[in-house]
Structure 1
């Protein structure tokens, strides 16, 4: 499960980082075309090769986000399928909160009206049901 959480978190961070890079490139591109309101004199002809390079970078980042999102979605879908196959409703609920909703142990315990220690106990029990399916998440 640790591998699953690490991989999901890594993919989520990668997607966010790429989205931020795109945002910064959009900001940079807006400055290139001189569309900002300013008292400074504008250049007569913007540098189109810089603009093209920025557009290509944005397109490459968007494709990378799409590919990463597909990998992320497949990982989540596999976990969801495995959790739904568990018979015990409390086990399903706990695993859903932890591995699909990514809630903290404190939040899970509060939502289930149990102690954090009991949440850990139920988690270990639920993991045994989940790991009976020998599919790896890596």
Structure 2
């Protein structure tokens, strides 16, 4: 991908979590719109209230929900492809400890304290290895510093 050469190693790895976070935000927005659409339709089924010209707030909310669902589906597909690419690059590393560390951190979204605990090392050791793993991947993929 051409974009890879324009970013550093951490940015490349962090794209997966950034994409996941954006999807989660859209899912939350869709949920809020569903609640809003439900409350609008509940209100409009009650007593008649004079309105100022045919604005269909429920219809607008439903349209936005459908748009969001389509965006989410597209974003999830892109995330899956990105995750496979980044995961493949991590798995291609020669040092299996570095590979495991980066996979846990950037694919499973675990913090370094959790990674250290799961791998049976001190947090200080994992932090040191994390920097070395980033550097090893940078050299492997020819990223910027």
TM-score bracket relative to the smaller structure: 0.7 to 0.9
**Could you tell me how far apart the structure 2 residues matched to 1:110 and 1:29 are?**
45
Does structure 1 retain, via aligned residues, the 8 Å contact 2:16–2:106?
no
Q: Which residue of 1 aligns with 2:17?
A: 9
Q: In the alignment, which residue of structure 2 is the partner of 1:131?
A: 138
> What is residue 108 of structure 2 aligned with on the other side?
101
Alignment gaps of 5+ in structure 1: none
The unaligned stretches of length 5 or more in structure 2 are 1-8
Question: Do the aligned partners of 2:90 and 2:103 also contact (CA within 8 Å) in 1?
Answer: yes
Q: What is the TM-score when the length of structure 2 is the normalising length?
A: 0.73
**Does residue 57 of structure 1 match 2:64?**
yes
Consecutive aligned runs of 4 or more in structure 1 exceeding 4 Å deviation: none
List aligned pairs for 1:1-138, cutoff 5 A: 1-34=9-42, 41-43=46-48, 49-134=56-141
Structure 2 contact 17–107 (Cα < 8 Å) conserved: no
The C-alpha deviation readout for 1:58-106, integer Å capped at 9, x for no partner, is: 1111122122223322221111101121233222211111111111111
After superposition, the Cα gap between the structure-2 partners of 1:122 and 1:33, relative to the gap in structure 1 and judged at 3 Å, is same
Q: Aligned partners of 2:137 and 2:42: how far apart in 1? A: 57
Mapped partners of 2:86, 2:38: distance in 1: 41
SS in 1 for 2:42: coil
